Structure 1
Amino acid sequence: MIKNYITIIPAVLMMLAASAQADVALKDSSEIAGKWAVTAEASKIDGEKKAVKVEWDFATNGVLHTIATDSVGRTKEMKIDIKYSVENGEIKKQSKPGQEKYESCKVIEKSDKNMILKCQFLYYFLTKL
């Protein structure tokens, strides 16, 4: 009987870990519409977070307005508009303005106030404004 529990416990723990990291499938862009502060980015979800000061405004017309603030650089503020859409539960956003190359971003976690995105190379940590 104890042997059965010993083999069942690791399987249950693996299932719980997998469900904790389950992606959130978006129905449409209304679920992310509005302004979000990108507060940090990281190469791993549990890795070291680099603080950033960026605002993303997901407009309902498929444009992502980005405002990045650099308090120590020459350009205090940089504004970029890129295209985005929600397809198959993920955010597809332009990799570079003016180019029709897109990257997919999965929503890892989402609440009314916070969201974590997993894009091609980085995790983004966002807070609703």
Structure 2
Amino acid sequence: MIKKYMKILPFAALLMAFSVHADVALKDNSEILGKWNLYAEASKLDGEKKAVKVEWDFKADGILNTTATDSVGRTKEMKIAIKYAVENGEIKKQTKLGQEKYESCKVISKEGSEMIIKCPFLFYFLTKI
């Protein structure tokens, strides 16, 4: 009987490891509407985070207003409005202003006011404002 449990134990541990980082499927954009503070980005989920100062404001009409703050740059603040939609549980957001090219971003975790999004090249760490 103990041998049987010993065989199941590694499988159960593996299953739990995958469930910790299971993607969150969004039902619609109502789950992300409003302002979010994008405070860090990283190339790996558990990698080094680069601090950033960006505000994302998801509007109900499918517009994502981004405001990036650069305290050491010449522009100080840059505002861009791009299109987004929630499709198949993922966020599809425009990659370049004026072009109909989109990238798919998965919500890796969403707990309370914290959310982590995985886009093709970066993980974004956000807090609801």
Q: Match of 1:19, as an amino acid?
A: S
Q: Match of 1:27, as an amino acid?
A: K
Q: C-alpha distance in 2, partners of 1:89/1:3?
A: 41
2:69 matches 1:69: yes
Q: C-alpha distance in 2, partners of 1:4/1:41?
A: 43
Match of 1:26 in 2: 26
State the TM-score, normalizing by the size of structure 2. 0.96
Unaligned runs of 5+ in 2: none
Query: Percent sequence identity over matched residues?
Result: 71
2:60 matches 1:60: yes
Q: C-alpha distance in 1, partners of 2:28/2:9?
A: 38
Secondary structure in 1 aligned to 2:8? Answer: helix
Q: Match of 2:106, as an amino acid?
A: K
Q: What is the root-mean-square deviation of aligned Cα atoms in Å?
A: 0.9
CA shift, 1:111, in A, is 2.2
Q: C-alpha distance in 1, partners of 2:73/2:18?
A: 41
CA shift, 1:9, in A, is 1.3
Q: C-alpha distance in 2, partners of 1:5/1:60?
A: 50
Match of 1:92 in 2: 92
Q: Match of 1:84, as an amino acid?
A: Y
Q: C-alpha distance in 2, partners of 1:8/1:111?
A: 30
- Spell out the pairing of 1:1-129 with structure 2 (5 A cutoff): 1-129=1-129
How many aligned residue pairs are there? 129
CA shift, 1:34, in A, is 0.2
Deviations 1:53-104 (A, max 9, x none): 0000000110000000000111100000100000000000001111111000
Q: C-alpha distance in 1, partners of 2:32/2:15?
A: 28
Q: Match of 1:127, as an amino acid?
A: T
